[in-house]
Amino acid sequence: MEGELKPELKEKVSNIFQDFLTRITKLEELAGIGSRLLNGYQQALEFLRRPPIDETSQLIKNIIKANETKRVKSYIEAGCINVHDSIQNTNKLHTCLLGLHNHLSKAKSLLNELEHLLEDLSGAIQTANGCLPPLKNEDCGDQLYQQITTDQSSFELGELEMTNYAVLMGIIYSMVKQDYVMQERIVNSLNLKSLSGELESYCVMWSLRPFIMDEVMHHAWRLIP
């Protein structure tokens, strides 16, 4: 049957597919590191703009009056921020932001590698079938996604048509690329005026990874022999 995984191409398709998923794993690891960096940025920025002690409170006034030492006075005059902590969090802010930009650079490089692997598989299928696989065919992608999410049986390499491996890789590539675009927009929007609510939402969305469909990823790994 046209499109079935031919014996002479089985090993090549398997190797490309495994290389593809290996890079997906690296992207997932990077996403975890990026999430920690983003949380670090949020914590450092929130510390630096932490409001001073509310001296209008009678209780606070009494506490300060009872402990009116030079150290306490200096602390209040400095805006209730320890100089050492301020320097430390300023450095942390800078380090986390640099780390996030470095994360984007590494993730972009991996995306390029994924795209090249897609092209390699497309070329192999074109050689075998004489036509390009429908990598961006939405109907084909939707049908495969429905098959993956509704069929509870375990797929094995060779059970899907050869072109469907390319479509599956295309679906996964689309997911991780959208995830990258979201991360890029988050990082590029970070600044000292970022609102607390915005930062919290950024951290949640980065960790949630809304564009990644777990069912697709789980079934992709189950295709590895």
Delimit the domains of the chain by residue range. Answer: 7-35+103-222
- What is the pLDDT confidence band of residue 207, given thresholds at 50, 70 and 90? very high
Radius of gyration of the chain (CA): 26
Does pLDDT of 183 surpass 60? yes
pLDDT of res. 156: 46
pTM for the structure as a whole: 0.78
CA pair distance 19, 193, nearest whole angstrom = 42
Average pLDDT for residues 139-146, to the nearest whole number?
Answer: 49
The candidate with the shortest Cα–Cα distance to 202, out of 213, 192, 187, 191, is 187
Between 21 and 220, the higher pLDDT residue: 21
Q: State both tokens at 187.
A: 């990082």
Between 58 and 153, the higher pLDDT residue: 58
Contacts of residues 4-8 at CB distance under 8 Å and 24 or more positions apart, as own/partner, are 4/161, 4/162, 5/157, 5/158, 5/160, 5/161, 5/162, 5/165, 6/128, 6/162
Percent of the chain surpassing pLDDT 90 = 47
Of 54-58, 96-100, 130-134, the range with the highest mean pLDDT is 96-100
pLDDT of res. 159: 44
- What is the pLDDT confidence band of residue 71, given thresholds at 50, 70 and 90? low
Average model confidence (pLDDT) for the chain? 80
